[in-house]
Amino acid sequence: MGRSSMPVTRRAATGGLAAALIARSVAAQAGTITLVVPTAPAGTTDFAARLLAEPLSRQLGQTVVVENKAGANGALGTQDVARARPDGTRLLVQYSGYHVGSPAIVPNIGYDVRRDFAPVSLLLDAPQVIFLHPSVPAGSVAEFIAYAKANPGVLNYASSGIGSLQHLGSELLRLRTGTEMTHVPYRGTGPATQDLISGRVQMMMTTPPPLMPFVREGKLKALAITARERSPALPEVPTLTESGLPDLEVVGWFAVFAPAATPAPVLARLVEGCNAVVSTPEFRRRAEEQGAVIRVMQPAEIQARVNRELDEWIRVVREAPITPD
């Protein structure tokens, strides 16, 4: 009797704990949802979070606030949500550079993107554009590659920092094309852009909106977009596929994640609410004004993308090779 009663007791206890967690989570849905942004205000991740917050509040009938928790190259805010109570009230609005780029370079970063998070919603895709200083005698990707091969080590490329998507994407381009270029890391896109315009560096791969005015003024050249389709905001810029590099794609993204143990009913409600907001014409309009692309994805698709891109960046880091310092 004693032996047979123990499994029943354990099952009951386990079921009771799960039920209690769900009950607390459902009750918490009446409270405030905090969107944690692991960067300072005014960046693209912050923009994505604030674009989501107000309409999500209306969609769910709850207060939704944005909290900027910057530090340690995104790790501080990311760790915060990984360790948060999984009740649906503390979510991460994350940039792919931090989610799959940083862990590729820093294995012991303090969070595991394969296990510590439950994907909720893809907010924005952010294709990169290869920008050149006009001093580089190339009007196409083929001409750029030919020039780089003929002048190994002469070209410098800028990035917003070691391990950024700009850095990793440029290294992927270098490896795939067999060219030699020197990486010059900066503390942010702003100073990198200034040196690109001045000609101190000759190439940068980054999101287009901040640099397109300089293209129109003739101070920079937009060589190609690193997505599979042309951007509606930049219809004149060809894709890498059109330029002869069909297997090279570098697209940043911004997505919402919950702590991994968030109960399924709570997660489903968040997925439905976020995807409903992302699907609205107003969200799309404001995102596309920033050069972003809207592509609604389900949680399983997002996680598959995380796994695939993390594996790819780990390969790039090893082949380049790239170190954290």
Could you tell me which CATH number the domain at 2-125+252-319 has? 3.40.190.150
Torsion sign (Cα): 168, 171, 175, 176: positive
- Whether 129-225 and 2-125+252-319 are alike in CATH topology: the answer is yes
Could you tell me which CATH number the domain at 129-225 has? 3.40.190.10
pLDDT score for 2: 38
Q: How confident is the model at residue 189 (pLDDT cuts 50, 70, 90)?
A: confident
Residue 90 CA to residue 75 CA, distance in Å, equals 16
With tokens 């995102």, the residue in question is: 287
Q: How confident is the model at residue 22 (pLDDT cuts 50, 70, 90)?
A: low
Residue 269 CA to residue 271 CA, distance in Å, equals 5
Residue 119 CA to residue 112 CA, distance in Å, equals 13
pTM of the model as a whole: 0.86
Q: Where are the domains of the chain?
A: 2-125+252-319, 129-225
Q: How confident is the model at residue 7 (pLDDT cuts 50, 70, 90)?
A: very low
Radius of gyration of the chain (CA): 22
Q: Which two tokens stand for residue 212?
A: 């397109």
What average pLDDT does the structure give for the chain?
91
> Greater confidence, 291 or 256?
256
8 Å CB contact between 161 and 186:
yes
CB neighbour list of residue 302: distance below 8 Å, 6 or more residues apart: 119, 121, 122, 255
